[in-house]
Amino acid sequence: MCLLAIYYRVADDAPLVLGANREEEYSRGGTLPARIAGNPGIVCPKDPRKGGTWIGINSHGLVVAVTNRRLAKVPQGARSRGLLALDLLHCKNASEASSLAVKELSSHNYAGGNFFLADAGQALVVMHSNWLKVRPLPPGLHLVTNGEINDEADPRIVEAARGLEWSQGHAAKTCLAQLKATCAMHHPGPGSICLNGKEKGTVSSTLILLAREKENNQLWHAQGSPGEFPHQDYSSLLTSLEGT
């Protein structure tokens, strides 16, 4: 059960500030973010088992992030959602990525998922369960786990919203600071943001700041639960995307 916390058009100096905690088997923690050769340039961590990703940004300023979602019957031999996310990162913008996601997910060859797609001009979620929907996101704070967007019945969404709502209208650096703190929250009970099960738990956390000026984009990543392993600055990787 991954968690996305999305500030969309909240800060004047950054259309998007995104936090993503990944929950997975500890043996499947994933790689550090890295530049993938090719055009467009892509920066993302990768899944060591399937080779896909769950979050990334490309040189066009397109951001893609994925959470799992329940599906009544997963197709036999289903293609990795992470590989689809990597395909989407080859698109020029959120609109193009949405069209590709809908086409692919309509093939009924994937398990359920929420695919968050955003650029400087729009943000949306392609939701794939026993049905397929595309939901544009208005400006504001949005939270997603493995169900509906901003689901008030989800204790983790309620807990995250409690820590993040007050920073709406603040500068991007304030939103980023709040995401760092909230993504690292851990306490006993169902509302804990970081999870630490016996075999599965929070294996990483990634923060992306998509600024109005490309040179101010930021990427932060915690390799492990951010409550134990603080986010480190990987923004220099985004500099390598310039000109591609």
Residue 19: which of 29, 4, 34 has the closest Cα?
4
| pLDDT tens string 93-127 | 999 999 999 999 999 999 999 999 999 999 999 99
- 């500890």: which residue's tokens? 26
Retrieve residue 109's tokens: 């060859």
Q: 3-state SS of the chain: helix, strand, coil percent to 5? A: 25, 35, 45
Which strands sit side by side in the sheet containing 42-44, from one edge to the other? 34-36, 42-44, 55-58, 63-68, 113-118, 123-128, 132-136
- 């989800």: which residue's tokens? 154
pLDDT band at 243 (very low <50, low <70, confident <90, very high): low
- 């990597």: which residue's tokens? 86
Does the predicted TM-score (pTM) go above 0.75?
Answer: yes
Retrieve residue 184's tokens: 């690292």
Q: Are 71 and 84 in contact (CB under 8 A)?
A: no
| pLDDT tens string 147-174 | 999 999 999 999 999 989 776 778 999 9
The CA distance from 209 to 36, in Å, is: 19
Backbone torsions φ then ψ of 104, nearest 5 degrees:
-65, -45
Domains of the chain, CATH where assigned:
3-239 (3.60.60.10)
The CA distance from 162 to 177, in Å, is: 15
- 């009544």: which residue's tokens? 72
Residue 9: which of 120, 148, 163, 134 has the closest Cα?
120
Query: Read out DSSP for 75-133?
Result: PTTPBPHHHHHHHHTTSSSHHHHHHHHHHHHTTT-B--EEEEEE-SS-EEEEEESSSEE
Share the mean pLDDT of the chain: 95
| pLDDT tens string 37-87 | 899 999 999 999 999 999 999 999 999 999 999 888 888 999 999 999 999
Is residue 217's pLDDT more than 70? Answer: yes
CB-CB neighbours of 215 under 10 Å:
9
Q: Are 152 and 143 in contact (CB under 8 A)?
A: no
The pLDDT of residue 129: 95
| pLDDT tens string 5-29 | 999 999 999 999 999 999 999 988 8
